[in-house]
Amino acid sequence: MSRCLLTVHAHPDDEASKGAGTVAVYHDAGVRTVLVTCTGGEEGDILNPAMDSDEVRANLAAIRRSELERSAGIIGYDEVVMLGYRDSGMPGSPANTDPRCFAAAPVDEAVGRLVEVIRRERPQVIVTYPKEQSGYPHPDHLRVNEISELAFDAAGDPEKYPQSGEAWQPSRLCYVRWSVKRMRATHEKFLELGLESPFSDERMARMLKAEELDAEASGARAPTIIVDVSERASVTREALLAHATQVDPSSRHWFGLPPEIADRLYPFEEYEVARDLTGADGGGDDLFAGIDVALSGRTHGG
């Protein structure tokens, strides 16, 4: 049995903005990497003016799938699985009422679909979104956490979803985190270079407060794994640009600093350990710490 890392994301482009460098690093090291994208991103705004046309809007779902394939190839995913739901849209939008949307789907059904993927791919590590998402409470992001938590346990229980394959228990569930350290370093570098920061004073104040609270809670907070992605620091930028409808190439937030500077600022990605069945129950710098499996590859479905 070889190592496998499975990540669960809500929409096409989330895989590019959250943990892309980590996936690239592990893929380069011989780990099988699998992406589950829960929706087609049909409700995404077209943020790139060059792509904003009636033709693109009419074919957005197909275009976003094509963008996803390009992004996944850049990052190094070995497999892309579409869970098959429609984008639920932002809270309170008409899309929330569409019975095909992810947020409206029966939880048991959605968990079952993810369990089937987990049992087929047999990942030791699953990366998903955290429970706490008050800063961006998108219905699909909240549902990603919900089904990931439930599927982590259900996949290992032979009495649950018996039609979905032989039971397989993953060893570790991790939450991908937005790094306050990276955002602060980016803000300070903009100012150092005499450039306008994409972060407002209000947002910086919130980030600094979050950092302060995080430090105060460090004794009780779950362990954090910090992955060094310096060897693949550019992959987030390259993967984001593959999502031509969703990402404005002139965005100061993503591309305001020269690449050679941005890549060196804080070349780390952070993960909170949500569940750990290895007995290690610690942080460190490796998502697979304490998981003793081979690095040799295996064929899909093997």
Q: Quick: pLDDT tens for 254-293.
A: 999 999 999 999 999 999 999 999 987 678 999 999 997 7
d(CA 211, CA 269): 16
- Which CATH code fits 4-276? 3.40.50.10320
* Cα pseudo-dihedral 33, 38, 44, 49, rounded to 10: 20
Which residue reads 């030791």 in tokens?
124
Tell me the residue type at 120. Answer: R
Region 232-256 average pLDDT: 96
- Domain definitions of the chain by residue range: 4-276
DSSP for residue 243: -
What pLDDT score does 203 carry?
79
Residue 191 pLDDT more than 50? Answer: yes
Contacts of 205 (CB under 8 A, 6+ apart): none
Average pLDDT along the chain = 91
Kindly report, residue by residue over 14-28, the tens digit of the pLDDT.
999 999 999 999 999
What pLDDT score does 211 carry?
63
d(CA 55, CA 293): 48
Residue 227 pLDDT more than 80? Answer: yes
Residue 162 pLDDT more than 80? Answer: yes
The DSSP H or E segment spanning 4 is strand 4-9
In 10 A of CB 220, how many CB atoms?
Answer: 6
Can you give the pTM of this predicted structure? Answer: 0.92
CA-closest candidate to residue 285, choices 210, 229, 215: 229
Range with lowest mean pLDDT among 22-26, 222-226, 250-254? 222-226
What pLDDT score does 178 carry?
86
Residue 84: exposed, middle, or buried by beta-carbon count in 10 A (0-12, 13-18, 19+)? middle
DSSP strands (E only) in 26-138: 32-39, 79-85, 125-128
Longest CA span, the chain: 61
